[in-house]
Structure 1
């Protein structure tokens, strides 16, 4: 039996367990500096009385010593009676933390129930990432398509006003044309008496043209007064098969005289005069033409030209 200091007992016990200072520090969670102070009985190196007792108790318990006896010896300022090794042979084996078997490891391999929540959560996470990726791709087309779309929209926006303006102007012109174009011209025989015929051209539009046309056997003298025809008249023959006379501007009447009515055709503004209505074969024949002008009219050609001009101006 021998008396040893607390520090010596602690150091010998650590040595018996095969622990170096670094291993003891890791195992006991006490700084190496304080372990050295405890093993050399240098208690002044510790922060205070409270820490001295706390570290002595913690260190003794970790080393497998009786912590109460260690604290009692410290408080009494005495050493510790220790039996010599020759008297009692004790064998100690220190089990390092890495060699310890935790309770969970003793349970054996885990079944599929343990891993199922992990697998399920992983699947959900992958699905969410894939959905977000697809949404981003679908909502962000490539730049060339965007440029093409922008160009098309820009082009459409530039052209639309012109087309709309053209359409509006065209509709306006068409409406104006519909309301201003007079009824068609109408040529009718109002009376016939012997060699005299009275005819009327209603809804007439200038110029009023009288056309005389003969055939291969024609030899007919004709005259149209109040026209640009010579006052001497014209002979329609094989050498001069046709003649045209235009009514003087503003004139509403003309007297047409024919030497005979056979081998001859007459049209006024494209409408034929029916010479077969004469009941006599004895000439000369007089045709009294009365013209009734159309009021507030505009010719179709003029309206069409106006519409085309307006449309072109809008498009430009």
Structure 2
């Protein structure tokens, strides 16, 4: 945003606040934006804000807090020649005073650092795979033993029926009925054994339990199928600015979802997790393979969703 337009925006927001009889402390309480950022917006000093993404998010929240139509207000001052910088919400946090703050710029991680950070996840993944393999081996062994035992019981029943037929012709009808009953039981046992060996339906998502920390929620063990999955980003009450990155920091999608629209983002099979940065969480709904994810944003607009995948 250029300086002249910034000054005009600040003056209009300040006048709207004064008309409402509100102080900067009141605006800070309702928007959770630091008072010094609010003062910078009113004075048109947008260079004191954390970045271009926060300029749009903070101005929108301020406009809503003073009773203005935020969508119309943003379109009024929109400049198509400017492209907002990609948001970096990785260091955003909510301190003890319930105010959103951003962290300092962090140096880019080296390959060694990334490898070191990924090691715990790799170890956990190997342990989980080993446990699953052991459980599968035990189940397969149990199913095989049950099938063998059923076969032996069937052979004993047939042998017994032959002995009875030779020793007494009078009881042939009873023996035949017993053989039929034994064969029916054997078939039922085999059918049950086969049904036990059928694997669970593939492709289902298990989100697990999300843990809220500051201005973020993290799902630490999301079970996904061993293939690419799709994430749906829907704006349910106003437009929303979002960015989706994988666990390595690669941006999969970044942009604005307009009101009532849905953006679908494909997450590759190789991704071990995702991070979703949201600029208007109150108006946003996130789903994974059409299964709704509970953001638990606690009335905070700027929000971060983290997911770690297990396959």
Shorter-chain TM-score bucket reads 0.3 to 0.5
- TM-score (norm. length: structure 1): 0.32
Larger Rg: 1
> Of the two structures, which has the highest relative contact order with CA contacts closer than 8 Å and spacing of 6 or more?
1
Return the TM-score normalized by structure 2. 0.33
